[in-house]
Chain A
Amino acid sequence: MEDVQVVNLIVRRAVAGDSNAWEDIVHRYNRRIYNICYRFSGSGDHADDLTQEVFIKIYKTLSSYDLDRGAFMTWVTTITRNLLVDHFRKTKQDRVTDSTDAGTSAEEDSLTLGDQLQDSGLLPDEIQHKRQVQELVHQGLQKLSPELREALILRDLQDMDYRDIAIALKVPEGTVKSRINRGRAELARVLSRTYKQVI
């Protein structure tokens, strides 16, 4: 996915104060980080703010990245994940008191699952339907515990190796595999319940 040599060179230049190199890093990773944040937080607005926070953190700690200790991508993912954990802890109370608040998203996640399905019935367009199925999955993902959710996002959306996920999450590899298994199964059960409920 990334040429390690090239990335290491860019990082070295950025650490040395080359603003073009830093810009390169932002362009290379903003999409990935935004997607992780979006799928984890469930909200486009949160993802926007969180991604900016992640890059501020990366910018400030870039010199502490050790080229020999692992891929830059894994390091970036670790920072992202740590910030997401902090964000989750901060907003946990809000989620408990207002579980219906899904925020705004790129996929109309302000609508309820039922609304989505009813809408999909009204809009026969294939693309529209696909989009709404994706929205259902996105909302289903939000119903998983954060431990299962983050493991699924990194594995199935970011295509990360489970060994790298273990580094990013600081848990044993067996735990990563187990969380991914449980997360996938749980998601399927959540979605199957949703479909049964509405149809």
Chain B
Amino acid sequence: MAEETKSGMHCAEFEALLFDAIDGTLATGPLGQFKAHAAACAACGPMFADADAGQRWMQSLAEVEPPKNLVHNILAKTSGKEVRLAEQAGIRPARSAAWWQPVFAGVWATVRQPRFGMSVAMAFFSMSLVMSVTGVKVRDVAKVDLRPSAITRTYYSTQARVVKYYTNMRFYYEMESQVRDLKKAMTPAEGGTKDKTKDKNQRKDTTTSGTPKKDQEQNYARDEMQPLLADASMSRTNDVSAVEQGTRQLGMGDVDGNSIFFTDTTLTDTTSIDKARREA
């Protein structure tokens, strides 16, 4: 900028007053000099016009609305309080969930199915029981036969060592039979005819096969996964409540936290998962 004095004001002085002049905080005396300089100076005049226009452009910008999930996400990442509130209300943060949903939604919905959850919970329970009875180390897990018939075999072969585990074992069998009853009770409540046929076949297997327990337990986790994957958006509230009830009857919350996890998740999230899938 040219260092000139126009209308009794130096260009540097003008620039120093520019902010206050536009802000409207310049006193009347200096303001008159300021305006006179702006009118006379080829450098300062346009600068004043531009700064004035720029301020008006800026003030034309309206406040933008933050994303709806912002507060929720902030609280989730800090105090974590909003997470619990949102879970109760069945709300989930959209953006944080969005990236995995298209990929895992089907599998995840299957895993959340109460029956699948029960199977996994029982499998986990069986495994930990066998391991504790036989003294198997974690790295030897692959060598252990986890079929219920094998568990029975193992039970007798290691009887001498396992007398003190007898009560646990009996509790396991009690639970297993109750779960089997529960599964049977749940079968008629299921929606698709396809599923019904399948369950009928399974019951047939149970009566004809030489090793019914083995086939039933393994098929439950493996075979039923396929129709459920294709049918994951179908929420079966009957199943949910039945399993919840069953879980309470069995007192599984005391024995195995996993089963409670699956039940709770299913109860709170089936509707939102379904909704998300329908939107997708």
* Residues of A that sit less than 8 Å from B by CB: 19, 22-23, 26-27, 30-31, 34-35, 38-39, 44, 47-48, 51-52, 55-56, 59, 106-107, 133-134, 137-138, 140-141, 152, 156-157, 162, 174, 177-178, 180-181, 183-189, 191-192
Contacts and interface: CB of A to CB of B under 8 A. Distances in A.
B79 A133 contact: no
A193 to B, nearest CB: 12
A184 B50 contact: yes
Given A31-B63, A184-B51, A162 B19 contact: yes
A52 B70 contact: yes
Given A107-B64, A181-B18, A19 B81 contact: yes
Interface in B36-69: 47, 49-55, 57-67
A56 B77 contact: yes
A181 B16 CA distance: 9
Nearest to A31: B66
Nearest to A140: B57
Contacts of A156: 55, 58-59, 61
Interface in B1-26: 15-16, 18-20, 22
Nearest to B15: A181
Interface of B is mostly: helix
A181 B19 contact: yes
B78 A44 contact: no
A188 B78 contact: no
Contacts of B73: 48, 52
B71 interface: yes
Contacts of B86: none
B64 A38 contact: yes
B189 to A, nearest CB: 41
B63 A30 contact: no
B74 A137 contact: no
A34 B66 contact: yes
A189 to B, nearest CB: 6
B64 A137 contact: no
A172 to B, nearest CB: 13
Contacts of A181: 15, 18-19, 22, 47, 51
B73 to A, nearest CB: 6
Given A51-B74, A56-B78, A39 B61 contact: yes
Given A22-B78, A188-B57, A51 B19 contact: no
A22 B80 CA distance: 11
A32 B82 CA distance: 20
